[in-house]
Amino acid sequence: MAIDEALLRSFDPAASLPVLRLYGWDPPALSLGRFQKAAEVLDLERCRADGVAIVRRVTGGGVIYHADELTYSLVCAPGQIPPAGSIKDSFRVLTGFLLAFYRALGLDAAYATDVAPVGTHLGERTAFCFAGRESFDILADGRKIGGNAQRRLKGTIFQHGSIPLHNHAATGLSYMCDQAPEHAAGTASLADCGACTDRNSLIQKITAAFSGHFGVVLENDTLSERELADMTELIETRYNVDRWNLEGAVE
């Protein structure tokens, strides 16, 4: 999460090229949305007993349990993406490569707004990410697969999201205060859908989907000196600080 925020901080909308980052989580961890309070939504005693780390994202939304997944983050300027009619519509624009990726894997993937039954309420805020459905959440065979969140800052768009290889939603739910089984019932993973779960193969497929969808050429890169410095500072002042991770506060 420190790297994600460093990429956001260091991005110059007037000069920087867009950045796509692909990564994973080891060991598994819980991430809180930017405005959540850990004590209000998580069973902290169980988290401590199981040694499950808790970290705060720079984006909003509900709790996500990150385990056995491929995660992406994307940083760009509004003018570097296809036109979007609104901030909400930019979710559709920026997740278009995910639809292409899932469909290339043979999944019947679509946006919730396009396939939800008449009368379905979309956009309800939930403490557990996978319990709710936004208009441009992606459904595979009618079940929510992964989650995406966005933040805008000084002319910059930051978005990240999870692609679950295997379904650990029930495990994540077990660390919540509200453990109603239905909160994890409508979720899916690549394994659930009978799709490929080999990480190296998936990285090749998602980069191909991204390049093809946006008409760009991707080049491998490493963190710049500024990004490394920002990451180090953020680890020290935020991501190694319980007050930040649990409460969203810093000294």
Q: Is the peptide bond before 27 cis (omega within 30 degrees of 0)?
A: yes
Q: Which of 47, 76, 129, 177 does the annotation list as catalytic?
A: 129
Cα(115)–Cα(219) distance, integer angstroms: 35
Q: What type of residue sits at position 49? A: A
Q: Give, for 29, the enclosing helix (H) or strand (E).
A: strand 29-32
Is 47 a known active-site residue?
A: no
- Cα–Cα distance between 245 and 80 in angstroms, integer? 32
User: In sequence order, which residues have a C-beta less than 8 Å from that of residue 153 and are 6 or more positions away?
Assistant: 8
Compute the distance between CA of residue 36 and CA of residue 60 in angstroms, rounded to an integer: 8
Is 19:3 a contact under the CB 8 Å cutoff?
no
Task: Give the residue among 122, 127, 123, 131 at the shortest CA–CA distance from 33.
Answer: 127
Q: Angle at the Cα of 128 (from 124 to 130), degrees rounded to 5?
A: 75
Distances (CA, A) of 4 to 9, 75, 84, 107, 183: 9, 9, 23, 28, 28
Q: Which residues are catalytic?
A: 129
